[in-house]
Structure 1
Amino acid sequence: MTLSPATNSRPATPPLHPEPEEDARAVQLGRIHQLLQITILLTVLVVSIWLIGDVLMVVFAATLMAVILHNLAAIVERRMRLPYWLALSLVVVALLAAIGGVLWSSGPAISEQATRLRVALTTQAHSLRDQLNASSLGRTVLDHLPQSLGGNQAEGGDSGMGTRIAGSMTGFLSSAFGAAGTLAVILIAGLYFALAPTLYVNGALRLIPPTHRPLARTLLLTAGRTLWAWTAGQALDMLVVGILSSLGLWFIGVPLALALGIVAGLANFIPYIGAFIGAVPAILLGFSQGTREGVMVAALYGAIQFFEGNVMAPLIQRHAVQMPPGLTILSQTVFGTILGMPGLILASPLTAALLAVMDEATPKLNDEDRV
């Protein structure tokens, strides 16, 4: 008995592997999907920075404050073997006592010198403007400077709808609280962050997909360590610059040496650009005393910055964070342009954290890949 061909026929089985065309199409669709995800993420990030940049800067400033308090408390906790909450309380009390002691002992003198410094700088600025107006070249310079910088060029004009929307959104904190209220928000939020850092970090990690949480945890810890290292190094740098500036100005005989030294130390929180910001008031006051004093003040600040850049900075960066100068200045320009003064002030720690995160998240270059 023979079987018919119909009986022997079996249904064709599908191929075990997809066709090459289907593989290429799937890979292409995957790349398009990934590109769309990155584009949407970058768009949301840029729009968020544009609309609520001031709020983001307050959040980052509070985070930076929390990192400082947490690491100081951790040092006290290790050295004195105290509970964390008690160590943090001692740190806060010690900081408040130090600030109160400085205000109690030197507050009236600092306030008086600050008032005299403001009056002296205003007088010097008007005098310099009058001298520039007296020459044709000086008038040309003033005609190309905006009025906010002492020039003759009119500012303003009606801004566009987008600018008004962004201004109304980002200016909420400054209009509702003012500078003192914003500072209070930063301090209070930073204290609460430092009281229970794991609560907020773990809450942020829950927003990350489970497959990416180990990497996100590593990046968050890296950013925290980098912010602490940068802040500790910069605080030491500011202290040295402030002391050297005050002593040098006092030796030269420039008035308001204490106030000018404090200005120089605080301005040095902003690397490179802060050195010029802190030197300008002292040089103006120096020239108001005479050409010799002005030249000596300029030489003093040049020597201090040479010492800071060639001796202090390498020693600090050996134990802290090393940032390329070109990238530092570029980040200050970008963040200062987008976010104003808060962006300029916080550009360096933010860039340091971003560089550390990128260094941790990206593979290292091989020797053959290096330029």
Structure 2
Amino acid sequence: MNSNHQTWFTKWFLNNKVTIVLLNILLIFLIISAFIKVSYIFRPIQQILGIILPPLIVAGILYYLINPLIDLLERRFHIKRVWSISVIFIIIFAILVWIIVSLIPIIQNQATSLIHNIPNYWRTLQEMLMKLSSEPHLQSLHLANKFSPLKLTKSLSSSLNGVFNNAVGNITSAVGIVSNVVMIILTAPFVLFFMLKDDQKIKPSILKYVPQRLQDSLSATLTEVNQALSSYVRGQLTVAFWVAVMFAVGYLIAGMPYGIILGIFAGVCNLIPYIGSAIGLIPAIILALINGHNMLLYVIIIFAIEQTIETRVVSPLVVGNKMNMHPVTTIFVLLISGGMFGLLGVIGGIPLYAILKILVSKIFAWIQQNSSWYEKDTSTEENK
């Protein structure tokens, strides 16, 4: 049919790109609605994934940390993977035993002392707020009624009571949490061993179920996803470890109470991009204010030294292949993933976004290559 004699139905519905896009969107929403209606069918799958994914994720994280060393031993020293994996497992087991024997008692003593001294710190904090509110400069701003120590202490008390009530209400689920942790500890090493042992067989075992014409593109996609995840996991965990070490050593040198706990907390918070360092510094600042202005100065100096070493030495050496993400994009990803999935979303939102970004870019490239929408208009070029 000649394009000049198209009917209005053909022009506005059959050959209209906007209409086709809207119909495809409508079809996607209808499919999602149908899946929601029959969601009970997928509950067994959800339960199975809830059992399988935790040890698999733990094993995957450890795989990205250990696999480069296994590859180095196999490539340079020609040691069989099974032997090198066994030696690495023995070394890790020895390190864990040393941590349990040496480090855990220190952490336990500091945690017990911190819990015991919380009421004293709370009274000291109230006294500091009372003194602060009596300052003439603050009274001239008329902030005493809005931000009085009594209101602040009541707000903090209600928050603590809410946390305590939630903790008491969740005691019944503690047994389930402990059992899940035990199952992860028991099963993750076996999964990790076979992931390291069959490293070269994982991708071929996936590709053999894919049509021949899609194997090359899928292989490139899996390689790109693997590189992004390995770069992120190795970089973040290694930097977090050294951040914890630097803060703990700095606090111990400065005589900061509970320095090891504060250092470990700062290292864990460093897993959160951009804002993690600030969050990890909050407890140290509170304890420093309670212990005197000199200690606050020490905390600021320790933070400045740690940030200098981290940004100038540790991160450039460790992170290496960074994911190309704009800071604004990272912040929005953290806000969305944190709002949807809490702390796990904040920690895992960036690598999940990186995977989705790779998949979407590959799909869009395929659409550009196979769709007529992105073909150049040869008729206009010939008329020029």
Give the TM-score category using the shorter length.
0.5 to 0.7
Task: Name the counterpart of 1:150.
Answer: 160
Task: Name the counterpart of 1:258.
Answer: 260
- Could you tell me how far apart the structure 1 residues matched to 2:187 and 2:345 are? 15
- Could you tell me how far apart the structure 2 residues matched to 1:130 and 1:155 are? 26
Cα deviation per residue 1:232-274 (whole Å; 9 max; x = unaligned)? Answer: 2223322332232123222322123233223322332222232
Which residue, out of 224, 229, 236, partners 2:238?
236
Where in structure 2 are the equivalents of 1:288-327 lying within 5 Å? 288-309=290-311, 312-327=314-329
Structure 1 residue 57 displacement after superposition: 6.6
Task: Name the counterpart of 2:382.
Answer: none
Structure 1 residue 283 displacement after superposition: 2.0
- Could you tell me how far apart the structure 2 residues matched to 1:190 and 1:215 are? 28
Change beyond 3 A, Cα 1:20–1:317 = farther
Cα deviation per residue 1:205-251 (whole Å; 9 max; x = unaligned)? Answer: 46656544432322222111222222222233223322321232223
Q: Confirm or deny: 8 A CA contact 1:76 1:82 kept in the other structure.
A: yes
Task: Name the counterpart of 2:73.
Answer: 76
Which residue, out of 5, 9, 14, partners 1:25?
14
SS state of the match for residue 273, structure 2? coil
- Give the alignment's Cα RMSD to 1 decimal: 4.6
Q: Confirm or deny: 8 A CA contact 1:332 1:343 kept in the other structure.
A: yes
Structure 1 unaligned segments of length 5 or more: list them: 1-14, 157-171, 364-371
Structure 2 unaligned segments of length 5 or more: list them: 134-143, 167-172, 366-384
Task: Name the counterpart of 2:227.
Answer: 225
Where in structure 2 are the equivalents of 1:109-258 lying within 5 Å? 109-120=106-117, 123-125=120-122, 127-128=124-125, 136=145, 137=147, 138-140=149-151, 147=158, 149-150=159-160, 175=176, 177-178=178-179, 180-181=181-182, 183-184=184-185, 187-188=188-189, 190-191=191-192, 192-197=194-199, 201-202=203-204, 204-205=206-207, 211-258=213-260
- Could you tell me how far apart the structure 2 residues matched to 1:174 and 1:216 are? 42
Which residue, out of 266, 285, 301, partners 2:287?
285
- Could you tell me how far apart the structure 2 residues matched to 1:208 and 1:153 are? 50
Q: Confirm or deny: 8 A CA contact 1:142 1:152 kept in the other structure.
A: no
SS state of the match for residue 108, structure 2? helix
Q: Confirm or deny: 8 A CA contact 2:248 2:260 kept in the other structure.
A: yes
TM-score, normalised on structure 2?
A: 0.66
Q: Confirm or deny: 8 A CA contact 1:124 1:284 kept in the other structure.
A: no
Q: Confirm or deny: 8 A CA contact 2:64 2:233 kept in the other structure.
A: no
**Count of matched residue positions in the alignment of Structure 1 and Structure 2:** 333
- Greater RCO (CA < 8 Å, at least 6 residues apart): 1
Q: Which moved more, 1:302-311 or 1:329-338?
A: 302-311
Change beyond 3 A, Cα 1:153–1:199 = closer
Task: Identify the structure with the greater helix proportion.
Answer: 2
Change beyond 3 A, Cα 1:349–1:31 = closer
Task: Name the counterpart of 2:270.
Answer: 268
Q: Indicate the percent of aligned positions where both proteins have the same amino acid.
A: 20
- Could you tell me how far apart the structure 2 residues matched to 1:202 and 1:155 are? 51
- Could you tell me how far apart the structure 2 residues matched to 1:246 and 1:77 are? 35
Task: Name the counterpart of 1:337.
Answer: 339
- Could you tell me how far apart the structure 2 residues matched to 1:265 and 1:176 are? 23
Structure 1 residue 275 displacement after superposition: 1.3
Amino acid paired to 2:347: I
Amino acid paired to 1:181: V
Q: Confirm or deny: 8 A CA contact 1:268 1:275 kept in the other structure.
A: yes
